[in-house]
Amino acid sequence: MACAAFFGYTYLQGDRVITVSDLSLVEPGLNLRSLHQQGCTGKGIHVAIIDGPLIQ
């Protein structure tokens, strides 16, 4: 997080790469802001990504 604050946050918007220093300026896409306004926050949702074998 410290490096991101120093260099800025980089994200894709369409076919453009955008770098900003303030994360509040980032438009998250997928209409997440409108979902948040409707009360959908994702609270209680858990996601795990396992990138590798579980048993060797």
- pLDDT tens, residue by residue, 4-23: 555 677 777 778 887 777 76
Q: How far is CA 49 from CA 2, 8, 41, 52, 54, in A?
A: 24, 25, 20, 9, 12
- As given in the structure block, the two tokens for residue 40 are 């959908």
- As given in the structure block, the two tokens for residue 53 are 């074998």
- Angle among Cα 23, 35, 50 to the nearest 5 degrees reads 70
Residue 28 has pLDDT above 70, yes or no: no
Q: How far apart are CA 46 and CA 24, in angstroms?
A: 23
More confident call, 4 vs 51: 51
Q: What is the pLDDT of residue 1?
A: 46
Q: What is the pLDDT of residue 6?
A: 59
